[in-house]
Amino acid sequence: MLHVYFYRFTKKLFRIAFAIYARIIVWLKFKFNNVKVGQNWKSNGMPMIDVWVNSSFSIGDNFRMNNGKHFNAIGRQQVCSFVVRNQGKLKIGNNVGISDSAIICYKQITICDNVTIGGNVVIYDTDFHSLAKEHRRNYLLDRQHTKFAAVTIENDAFIGAHTTILKGVTIGEGSIVGAGSVVTKSIPKNEIWAGNPAKFIKSILKTS
């Protein structure tokens, strides 16, 4: 049993040391990418952050994030990726938690307060390429005809693990998206949707 206790002790010690190191590196990543971040944030592991000039990224208070295989190990582990380009605006509100997910913003993505985003979720406000094959044959035409549309996730929404949210979608207040869903159209508030493409499952009863 001694070797078990030794293993657990060294593992805990490593996590503490790595947490201190990671906080310093993440703080530097926020600073050098001009990310405005609120108070009491915590990052387990280190995300990838890429914010272009003339783009913006802001985070509210009490932000929580898990990155990589050592944290929230539910499969398909990766670090969180935040990419903001082409004068995009990414805004994350207060009390938001996110794990091992990617948010790619070319126009505008807004995540409101008290939102929970499960592991391996991806959120895109762009198609990345034109849908016309003629345009995709030419790099400049492809870029010119790529479509963008803002994404909004309203207060208290819960996005299940491995979900994909596509451009132009609004997730209504208090709604839940089931794990592994592909969300192609907006979801009203206080509803459960799931599937590929995501469809209405049932309404959520209000609690007092």
Angle, alpha carbons 160-165-167 (nearest 5°): 165
Provide the 8-state DSSP code for 204.
P
Q: Token pair for residue 47?
A: 């995300």
Catalytic residue among 3, 129, 145, 162: 129
Contacts of 85 (CB under 8 A, 6+ apart): 50, 52, 55, 105, 106
Does 145 participate in catalysis according to the annotation? no
Q: How far is CA 125 from CA 89, 107, 152, 166, 207, in A?
A: 11, 7, 10, 6, 33
Catalytic residues: 129
